[in-house]
Amino acid sequence: MANEIPTKGILKSEALKQYIMETSAYPREHELLKELRKATVQKYGNLSEMEVPVDEGHFLSMLVKIMNAKNTIEIGVFTGYSLLTTALALPEDGRITAIDIDKEAYEVGLEFIKKAGVDHKINFIHSDGLKALDQLVNDKCEFDFAFADADKSSYVNFHERLLKLVKVGGIIAFDNTLWFGFVAEDEDGVPEHMREYRAALIEFNKKLALDPRVEYIMETTAYPREHELLKELREATIQRYGNLSEMGVPVDESLFLSMLVKIINAKNTIEIGVFTGYSLFTVALALPEDGRITAIDIDQAGYNLGLEFMKKAGVDHKINFIQSDAVRGLDQLLNGEKQEYDFAFVDADKTNYVYFLEKLLKLVKVGGIIAFDNTLWFGTLIQKENEVPGHMRAYREALLEFNKILARDPRVEIAQISIGDGLTLCRRLI
């Protein structure tokens, strides 16, 4: 078909995308969301790819919950997979203003929204996006969260209006900003029917990267938003450690962690595995002045390299560094004075991730977030063992098992994020 829509997702490996879906996304999908997804495929065929993927749905659901959103807006509904996802995540008195020109598609999803008993949360406006947004601006409405998945050539105009509608500290999420990876390709290699949106999104991404009114996360424009001292630390780490500097989190993941810490209003956090402290420094900058981080690592020398830059930034007073292996350090915290953490970031021995999960579920508060790094392990999880370098096999096996355990653990809600080398967010439920 000439105008076929590619499968959503930026991972170039279909096998890796399928691994994420089958391991962590499909097993956690709400039954009515699953039914809606199938009904959309049945009615719209290849056009069903316009819906958000299941793994993105999990992340949106968690995001709405951790920011305690009550009043949200969605631009572009189609059959309503993301709309139903948000409606299920909102509290009973939550409200969604949903805007789309296509009422027929919305009514496909409405059947399932009614079955779920969340249709009372939705105010559907049958209109094109800009006209409806202008009316909402005139009505002086205010929203906690906005999700835009509509005409990409109007994203700049949506952005301007949503900045008037979404409260300070609120979140505006724009979907498809990498446009199936085409934003990174030469125009000649892009199917003709995809070129208009590609050009619009390239321009939109440039504008967002330079917009001082927002904090922005985007893989292709991470460096312009990198804090100057984080940049210096990254360069110093490369100079001292060479290829081992890859153990630090990438810049785009750092921007994501920074925003996440702010969204959840974290004050007391814990980090397992520090290296030279790029992620530690990121969190320290994001925390309020009275915020605290307990950081555990066996390597004092690596930490000391980063400490120089943290002192320059004036955030070293927020950090309690424990020189210890992670297992002993966590046991020490559990046996000591009782503390409760809002957020945990784990980037240490992968063979102990299951152990870390058990300990952190006792330390992180209900509703708090535990983030595990490297859960896709350089894509080796979908390779045959004999294709994986020998030194990477132990962690590969450990992460395969860990991901299976997480997928069926009723104590947490999970979202697998395709950023860095795979980041899994766990929201503690009980």
Q: What residues form DSSP beta bridges with 414? A: 426
Residue 104 corresponds to which tokens in the numbers above?
């027929």
8 A C-beta contact, residue 360 and residue 344? yes
Closest CA to 279 of 367, 68, 287, 242: 287
Closest CA to 426 of 31, 416, 252: 416
8 A C-beta contact, residue 350 and residue 324? no
What letter represents residue 91's amino acid? P
Closest CA to 316 of 341, 283, 348: 283
Identify the H or E element spanning 294.
strand 292-297
Residue-range domain boundaries for the chain: 14-175, 226-428
Whole-prediction pTM value? 0.90
3-state secondary structure of 64: helix
State the Cα torsion 93-99-105-107 to the nearest 10°.
40
Q: Which residues contact 303 (CB under 8 A, 6 or more apart)?
A: 274, 275, 276, 277, 280, 295, 297, 321, 323
The verdict on domain 14-175 having CATH code 3.40.720.10 is no
Distance CA 370, CA 414 (A): 9
Distance CA 233, CA 237 (A): 6
3-state secondary structure of 428: strand
Instruction: Annotate 204-228 with b (16+ C-beta within 10 A) or e (fewer).
Output: bbeebbeeeeeebbbbebbeebbbe
Closest CA to 256 of 228, 216, 293: 216
Residue 322 corresponds to which tokens in the numbers above?
């424990």
Q: How many CB atoms lie within 10 A of CB 362?
A: 12
Distance CA 29, CA 61 (A): 11
Closest CA to 88 of 50, 37, 31: 31
Can you say whether residue 78 is alpha, beta or left, with left for phi > 0 and alpha for psi between -120 and 50 degrees?
left
Q: What residues form DSSP beta bridges with 124? A: 98
Q: Which residues contact 301 (CB under 8 A, 6 or more apart)?
A: none
Identify the H or E element spanning 73.
strand 71-75
Q: How many CB atoms lie within 10 A of CB 400?
A: 16
Each residue's pLDDT tens digit, 327-341? 999 999 999 878 899
CATH code for the part of the protein at 226-428: 3.40.50.150
Instruction: Annotate 76-114 with b (16+ C-beta within 10 A) or e (fewer).
Output: bbbbbbbbbbbbbbbeeebbbbbbbbeeebbebbbebbe
Domains 14-175 and 226-428 share a fold: yes
Closest CA to 349 of 369, 321, 385, 377: 377
Residue 267 corresponds to which tokens in the numbers above?
């004050």
pLDDT of the chain, 430 residues: tens digit per residue: 345 544 444 455 788 888 999 999 999 999 999 999 999 999 999 999 899 999 999 999 999 999 999 999 999 999 999 999 999 999 999 999 999 999 999 999 999 999 999 999 999 999 999 999 999 999 999 999 999 999 999 999 999 999 999 999 999 999 999 888 888 889 999 999 999 999 999 999 988 888 888 876 554 568 888 999 999 999 999 999 999 998 999 999 999 999 999 999 999 999 999 999 999 999 999 999 999 999 999 999 999 999 999 999 999 999 999 999 999 999 999 998 788 999 999 999 999 999 999 999 999 999 999 999 999 998 888 888 899 899 989 999 999 999 999 999 999 999 999 888 899 999 999 9
8 A C-beta contact, residue 374 and residue 348? no
